[in-house]
Amino acid sequence: MFLRHAQNALTLSWYLSVALVIYIGWSVREQRYLLAESGIGYWLGIIGGAMMLLLLYYPVRKRKPRWKYSGSIKFWFRFHMFLGIAGPVLIILHSGYRLGSLNGTVAFFCMLIVAGSGLIGRYLYRRIHHGLYGEKIRFEELYHKDQSWEEKLAELKNKYPEPVEKLGVIESQLVQHGAAASRSLWFYQSMQWQLQTLKRQIIQQLGKNSADSAGFQQRIQSLKSITSLGVHEILFSYWHILHFPLFIMLLISGITHVVVVHFY
């Protein structure tokens, strides 16, 4: 618990420092301390660009489980996210907050889009893993049918046959589609709505705090976490499809920019 709080505090202070550096750079931009074409400003371009090349080792390392000598996947993932922010920050300073040429502008916006997309990817990744560096959450972990629930269900069935039946229908649909290729965002959304409606009906019928109502609500909650896992898994796979071409655009525009500024 303490460790998690400390980690959250560290992450927050990292993002705040990034915002502060960008803000300070912005507020002194008119003084033109940094020039993109020479001195520190030029070097910031090179270092920021190199950082964005280095972060590409993470997807390579992830696909080569045997290359342990070059550092753990977890380390490279962490480093990827660090470089994915630090690199663009240095490039923002490198640009001097001025967009002149078409090539520089295109590369600049591609970079912001890819880094922004990375942050969205981080958010989705976290939703389907045990924390940022943990294992992938599996459907089976959320769907447990233990003895105590079976007993409770039999008892509830005698008292409230209708909601138990509705719950059973939703549950069996989720189990059938849970791992199937046919699942979709729409499917999970409609399951979510059905669970929400059922929860409302149960609260109306049994009140919020009775033991039976709590039993139902607990089960509905665990089915909801299955729908949430499904939604985030699908969104993450779409994200992967989108992120790659964005990154290719950055690569091409970044290389074009470097070539153009040196040859023309």
What is the contact surface with ligand HEM in residues (CB under 6 A)?
36-37, 42, 45-46, 49, 52, 55-56, 59, 62, 80-81, 84-85, 87-88, 91, 94-95, 98-101, 104-105, 107-108, 111, 114-115, 118-119, 121-122, 125, 240, 243-244, 247, 250, 254, 257-258, 261
* Closer CB to ligand HEM, 34 or 174, in the complex: 34
Report in angstroms how near the CB of residue 253 gets to ligand HEM at its nearest: 7
Report in angstroms how near the CB of residue 183 gets to ligand HEM at its nearest: 19
Query: How many residues are there in the chain?
Result: 264
What is the C-alpha to C-alpha distance for residues 262 and 47, in angstroms, rounded to an integer? 17
Among 82, 97, 20, 26, CA closest to 51: 82
Residue 221: both structure tokens together: 């909650």
* Closer CB to ligand HEM, 82 or 193, in the complex: 82
Among 60, 130, 95, CA closest to 254: 95
* Closer CB to ligand HEM, 87 or 215, in the complex: 87
Report in angstroms how near the CB of residue 103 gets to ligand HEM at its nearest: 6
* Closer CB to ligand HEM, 96 or 230, in the complex: 96
Residue 62: both structure tokens together: 């992830």
Report in angstroms how near the CB of residue 80 gets to ligand HEM at its nearest: 6
Residue 121: both structure tokens together: 């990817």
- 182 class by beta-carbon count within 10 Å (0-12 exposed, 13-18 middle, 19+ buried): exposed
Residue 202 near residue 213, CB atoms below 8 Å: yes
Report in angstroms how near the CB of residue 182 gets to ligand HEM at its nearest: 23
* Closer CB to ligand HEM, 22 or 203, in the complex: 22
Ramachandran angles phi, psi of 207, nearest 5°: 80, 175
Report in angstroms how near the CB of residue 141 gets to ligand HEM at its nearest: 19
What is the C-alpha to C-alpha distance for residues 22 and 92, in angstroms, rounded to an integer? 8
What is the C-alpha to C-alpha distance for residues 45 and 190, in angstroms, rounded to an integer? 48
Report in angstroms how near the CB of residue 94 gets to ligand HEM at its nearest: 6
* Closer CB to ligand HEM, 42 or 143, in the complex: 42
Residue 129: both structure tokens together: 């893993």
Name the residue type at position 254.
Answer: G
- Strand, helix or coil for residue 179: coil
The H or E element that residue 27 is part of is helix 2-27
What is the C-alpha to C-alpha distance for residues 215 and 116, in angstroms, rounded to an integer? 41
* Closer CB to ligand HEM, 122 or 152, in the complex: 122
